[in-house]
Amino acid sequence: MKSVLSIQSHVVHGYVGGRAAIFPLQTQGWEVDNINTVHFSNHTGYGHFRGQTLDRNELASILDQLINQLQIDYNAVITGYVPNAELISCIREYIVTMKREEKQRSEYQKNGHENNGGGTLLDVSVNSPMTYLMDPVMGDNNYMYVDQSCVDEYRKLAHSDIVDIITPNQFELELLVDNKITNRESLQKAILQLHDDCGIPYVVITSVEAQVINSNSDKEEDDYIYCVISIKTHSSSDAQMRMFQIPTIKSYFTGVGDLFSALLLDKFASNKVGGSSGANDNLSRLSRSVNQVLTIMAKTLKLTHKLGMQQARSTLLNNDTNKHNGGDRNGTINARDSFDHKEDEIVGKINDGETMKYFELKVIQAKEFYKYNEDGEFKEMKF
């Protein structure tokens, strides 16, 4: 059974953080141990919320119990929304320890194998290498969710030589490398910083503006964003990059990055990315994994938008009918005219609870999508 330690947010209502990540992973056979960095009534995109934040001592106590006392060996760790620098620092310290101890066990097993003429030591149990997926949740579309101190601490985490996969969006990548991304050259430079300065072998930039990829993009092309992937598993090798063009939906959804990262972790494992000595083969496996995730995400967002529009239409029509002449025939006609005018305004908007409530990710209804195992519906493009 695959096991993962998930460290991210929790909301009572809606689907972001752990609520967007845990169920999809469980449907694919993962045992998920989740630590809630926050316990909120709803996500912050509503503009108002209630709840508490985990403090450093509480997080350290939980991690110590899981890692040092119970000595649980995880196949993977995934981190998402962490609200302050102290928690990010604590996470970094414990994952550094986990990676170091894993390396020591692997070396011990290797030495024991060699010293026993090719036999194995019966009292040593070593799982496959633990994968750490870092989703540096800091913001999107030039809007920061966290304090600047979190940005500084995320940079330290990225430079700790423990991250296997990183999944920032364009804005988060800019924050990590402290440089504005305006074209392909600056994007490539930023990605290479993650490879060369941070030692991160697998980089997935989840969303890049069309103007960055094509400086001459027109309004039609602005209906697309791009997902850019890059692999560099050896310091002496060159980075290999690919990209996918993704049509956008005119609405704001939250939890998309959380679901994307969880699905990527699953496909990364099932496609055995890193399990080959050949860079081209690993690039192909990573590309297939990302294509599968993008396909699942497209299906999930289309379903979310469809069901959200149905709910919004029903609510608006009922409200307008009740407001016009007590619901008589003329009132119903007037209500429909009013509804037709308002329907174009049904778009999820950040900090607008009235629209956000319709477009919570349909994580449960989309469960049949998560087992998707074809090659993907998007065309791989050279960067």
For the stretch 148-172, pLDDT in tens is: 999 999 999 999 999 999 999 999 9
Q: What is the pLDDT of residue 120?
A: 39
- Both tokens of 80, joined, read 């998402």
**Average pLDDT of the residues in 313-331:** 63
Boundaries of every domain in the chain: 2-107+127-203+248-304+358-376
Q: Which residue has the higher pLDDT, 378 or 234?
A: 378
The Cβ of residue 328 has, within 10 Å, a number of other Cβ atoms equal to 11
Calpha distance 93→156 (Å, rounded): 11
Q: Which residue has the higher pLDDT, 220 or 306?
A: 306
Q: What is the pLDDT of residue 220?
A: 55
Strand ordering across the sheet containing 51-53? 51-53, 30-40, 2-11, 76-79, 131-134, 165-166, 202-209, 224-231, 240-247, 381-382
Q: Which residue has the higher pLDDT, 242 or 47?
A: 242
Which class is domain 2-107+127-203+248-304+358-376? Answer: alpha beta
Q: What is the pLDDT of residue 121?
A: 36
Calpha distance 240→192 (Å, rounded): 10
DSSP letters spanning 101-128: HHHHHHHHHHHHHHHTTT---TT---PS
Report the amino acid identity of residue 159. H
Helix (H, G, I), strand (E, B), or coil: what is residue 277?
A: coil
Q: Which residue has the higher pLDDT, 340 or 110?
A: 110
Q: What is the pLDDT of residue 115?
A: 59
